[in-house]
Amino acid sequence: MQTRNTNHHGPWLLALCVSTVLIASCGSIGDTRSIKKAGELAIECRTNEALAALDTAETSGGFSKYMAGLERVGILRDAGRSDEAAKALRAYKANPEVASSSDEEIEESLTNFVDKLRKERKLRTGSSKCPA
């Protein structure tokens, strides 16, 4: 039986974890289930529901707050909501805990996240993009 890896968080999560300052400052993990749910909803082109799940993850605090903040940018970019994505990215970068991450690391993480999201959507639906 062939299985498919649906964990699309790996590459950007790894890049985000590069900073030991970030990991040390987060304390707890927080609500990672809401982050996974957000990714699944984004694959299904249910962007607003995905963003609501990220709201839940962000309010749980800990490391999930930062994961959700970055994933929010990726989901908004994927949905073509560029202005909102830019605003979310500014908010994410304003967190002192992510100050040690370079702009290049963040952009690479976002690109990888959106690419994996679209690849998974294409596998499931035949199209990498959501209907307009």
pLDDT tens for 77-102 read 999 999 999 999 999 999 887 877 88
Contact by Cβ (8 Å): 77, 110: yes
- Read off the pLDDT of each residue in 22-26 and give the average, rounded to a whole number: 45
CA quadruple 86, 23, 116, 61: dihedral, nearest 10: -60
pLDDT for the residue 30: 65
pLDDT of residue 23: 45
Question: Which stretch of 13-27, 47-61, 70-84 has the lowest confidence by average pLDDT?
Answer: 13-27
Residue 106, amino acid: I
Mean pLDDT in residue range 36-44 = 93
Q: What pLDDT was estimated at residue 17?
A: 46
Please give the average per-residue pLDDT across 97-109, as a whole number.
87
Angle, CA 87 vertex, CA 83 and CA 93 arms, to 5°? 145
For 66, the token pair is: 């930062």
More confidently predicted of 82 and 33: 82
Tell me the average pLDDT across 5-17: 48
Token couple for 33: 């289930």
Find out whether 54 and 38 touch, Cβ atoms under 8 Å.
Answer: yes
Query: End-to-end distance of the chain based on CA atoms, in angstroms?
Result: 35
This prediction's pTM: 0.76
Amino acid at 45: C
Residue 11, class by beta-carbon neighbours within 10 Å (0-12 exposed, 13-18 middle, 19+ buried)?
middle
